[in-house]
Structure 1
Amino acid sequence: MPDEAPGFPDDLLDAYARYLTGERGRSGNTLRAYLADVRQLERFAAQRGARDWGGVDLPLLREWLAEHASTGKTRATMARHAASSRTLFAWLLREGQITQDPTLRLKSPKKTSALPTVLRSAQMEKLLDGLQAPAQDGDPLALRNLALVETLYATGIRVGELVGLDVDDLDLERRTLRVLGKGDKERTVPFGVPAARALETWLRRGRPALVTGTSGPAVFLGARGGRIDQRQVRSLVSERFKALGDTAATGPHALRHTAATHLLDGGAELRAVQELLGHSTPATTQLYTHVSVERLRNSYRQAHPRA
């Protein structure tokens, strides 16, 4: 960031960051996104003559959001911009940095209710079969890739939770793993026999071939021995989806959607799936029941003679 603008000191944002993590329990990803939004707003406000946060009013905020909208930002991103500004100004008011909150009448676009892309069971089998063949030759990266995708599909964990796994977080005997989710909430997630086998083989035969002095306790490693990062996982999963050729799914989050939907299709209770995914409310998990119902409707329309 360029030199700080008058009235917008960095130490104030440092205190705001501590508030987001300490009191609001925001995850690292949310913290980075909110702070990036605030710094964008800070520059925008300074360019339009605001000398401090007290000089930011409702018209300026609307202009800031309109500029974002003109660049083609999604409704979800626009909603986050509005949410991050509301959180900031509520905190500034509480801290006595401003005398009134300009976001009280700020409206944000509603998020679209588009259903997530989910792979069919046959597509998932095809994807995993495509990872099995190279893994059988014992290549360390192939063993890792199979274990990684099996784990994502078996557990429905987030990609950030996956890359943060340490060896001590796995209990192969009980077939469970421990993850630290949003808001630093810890939960235990079960997984099935295929994932357990893939993980055991990776830890026994694949990981030792890549491990270095800087690997630490990370379960999944990159080609150079360091903890694998989210970008590498996204690239790997996206490549496998492209190889299928018949899905619009992109990125590891589609495996989370797929795991949740297949569980509900198989008769799992909504509450159990909520706990598995680490959702704070049932409303978020409810989305996957809509996916299941829509799939049922499509099958009905295709198969019933009087649909």
Structure 2
Amino acid sequence: MESSPLTDSLDHFLRHLTVQRRLSRNTVNSYGSDLRFFIEFLQQQGISDAVRITAVEVRAFLKDCHAREIQARSNARRLSALRSFFDFLVFQGVLPLSPAAEIDLPKIGSALPGTLSLTEVDLLLASPTEAEMNPLRLRNCAMLHLLYATGIRVSELVKLPVQDCSLSSGHVRILGKGSKERMVPFNAEAGVRISDYLEQGRPALLGGRGSRFLFVTSRGGAMTRTRFWQIIGEMARGCGISKTVSPKTMRHSFASHMLAGGADLRALQMMLGHADIATTQIYTHIDTSRLKAGHQKFHPRG
């Protein structure tokens, strides 16, 4: 991509997201990728300065994305990135108005997140037999229990420092997206699993080495997200669950089961680390969706 006043503005915007808004690296990279795609489109039209961008160019860009069969969800994300970028340029005095202000987001379906039933959760969290008891099994069992007990993200789970898990208070301290801190409680059963792992599993895995991470590999380092995805899938298949189970499945199950049990939506928002309660509200539709499916199945005129 050629250097231009527009690429300079993009660099300033990405620094703003990193330094001022303290967004995560992955989020900033996502903004950068979407906006560079837009700037490359503009350069093909001979536009290299933000002041020449109008709603016509934005609509032409989205039309081009649609012609490339890019999904509506991705186009909605790109338009959201453009709006943030243009709002930044307006604030900086580069533009008088945002050229994306009057453009509507592409309509996308709200896919409900996949969850496990309570019976399936019980199967997955079942105690290992004496024959299965080993350091890796103790670790994996503790990780699953903590994941379902708190609903934390897999990235937060695998990088959790040992000092940020308090067995005495039954809380984990999470430094989430945008370096925002939150305290999330966990239940007594998860506490027992973590205690067993700390006493019998973690020392054996470390073999005298030190590590700041709670959950460690046989090499003494933190586990990767990819490896935990593999482990949770293997454990689900091993106990007879036919669904595809991932860390997100456990997070979604935690949220939907909490709401079904009467949890406060604001409290759940805090535990999940959602910046916007609208993100949390998707879980309120899950039980409604199941009720409708049951109604259609059993009603004589369904």
Give the structure-2-normalised TM-score: 0.84
Distance in structure 2 (CA, Å) of the matches to 1:145 and 1:126: 14
Residue among 190, 204, 213 paired with 1:218: 213
Q: CA offsets per residue over residues 5-28 of structure 1, 9 Å max, x none?
A: 333445x44432231134334333
Query: Aligned in 2, Cα 1:297/1:260: closer, same or farther, shift over 3 Å?
Result: same
- Does structure 1 residue 229 correspond to structure 2 residue 227? no
Aligned 1:75-154 pairs, distance under 5 A: 75-129=72-126, 132-133=128-129, 136-138=132-134, 140-154=135-149
Instruction: Tell me which amino acid in the other structure corresponds to 1:121.
Output: L
Q: CA offsets per residue over residues 225-247 of structure 1, 9 Å max, x none?
A: 32223233333334445554532
Instruction: Tell me which amino acid in the other structure corresponds to 1:159.
Output: V
Q: Is the 8 A contact 1:167 1:219 kept in 2?
A: yes
Task: Supply the RMSD in Å over aligned alpha carbons.
Answer: 3.1
Shift of 1:250: 4.8
Count of equivalent residues: 301
Once the two structures are overlaid, the 10-residue window that deviates more, 164-173 or 226-235, is 226-235
Determine the structure 1 residue equivalent to 2:195: 200
Q: Is the 8 A contact 2:151 2:251 kept in 1?
A: yes
User: Sequence identity of aligned pairs in percent?
Assistant: 37
Once the two structures are overlaid, the 10-residue window that deviates more, 167-176 or 249-258, is 249-258
Query: Aligned in 2, Cα 1:65/1:211: closer, same or farther, shift over 3 Å?
Result: farther
Query: Aligned in 2, Cα 1:40/1:209: closer, same or farther, shift over 3 Å?
Result: farther
Determine the structure 1 residue equivalent to 2:185: 190
- Does structure 1 residue 266 correspond to structure 2 residue 261? yes
SS in 1 for 2:128: helix
Shift of 1:65: 2.6
Query: Aligned in 2, Cα 1:199/1:5: closer, same or farther, shift over 3 Å?
Result: same
Shift of 1:189: 0.7
Determine the structure 1 residue equivalent to 2:166: 171
Determine the structure 1 residue equivalent to 2:49: 52
Distance in structure 2 (CA, Å) of the matches to 1:241 and 1:73: 33
Shift of 1:271: 3.1
Shift of 1:176: 0.9
Shift of 1:104: 1.8
Query: Aligned in 2, Cα 1:100/1:215: closer, same or farther, shift over 3 Å?
Result: farther
Distance in structure 1 (CA, Å) of the matches to 2:49 and 2:150: 47
Q: Is the 8 A contact 1:5 1:46 kept in 2?
A: no
Shift of 1:169: 0.7
Give the structure-1-normalised TM-score: 0.83
Q: Is the 8 A contact 2:211 2:220 kept in 1?
A: no
Q: Structure 2 unaligned runs (5+)?
A: none
